[in-house]
Amino acid sequence: MKTFKLLKIEVASKDIPLIDGVIINQENSRRSWLIEVFTTPEYRAYFQQLNDQLVAARAVISFPDNEPAPFEVVVHAIEQIDHEHISVLLLGKLTASRSKYAEKLLANLLEQNLNAEQLLTQFTEGMKKRPKL
């Protein structure tokens, strides 16, 4: 098994604010991954509604500049840690190869006819914030 720091996660097209998180490649024959999301209780209902559904997720792992890794996950467990925190355990698999985000972002920005300075600024910001394209 290999364990990585989870820096950012989007589950079913919703950004989930992380207090902390970890992602584990189980390196088994099913090629499964465990994702633990440590967040606030206001997201309990959101995850409960997703219970037993296979949903898309995107996770930024280890370094903020890494491209989000695409997963298909199921909510496996939701645990109340204390009054201010819940832990959500997701089980899933890494899906198709990465989306070449930088190339897509650049192509999108080039269509906007920005000058060189604007292009550089928008590209740098886009690579940090990773808006959906």
Instruction: List the structure tokens of 123.
Output: 């590209």
Q: Distance between CA 77 and CA 8 in Å, rounded?
A: 19
**Tens-level pLDDT at each residue, the chain (133 residues):** 899 999 999 999 899 999 999 999 998 888 899 999 999 999 999 999 998 899 999 999 998 888 888 999 999 999 999 999 999 999 999 987 556 778 888 899 999 999 999 999 999 888 887 777 7
Would you say the C-alpha torsion 38, 42, 44, 47 has a positive or negative sign?
A: negative
Query: Domain map of the chain by residue range?
Result: 2-94, 100-133
Around 15, how many Cα atoms within 13 Å sit in the side-chain half-sphere? 9
The pTM of the full predicted model, rounded to 2 decimals, is 0.72
- Give the bridge partners for 15, in sequence order: 10
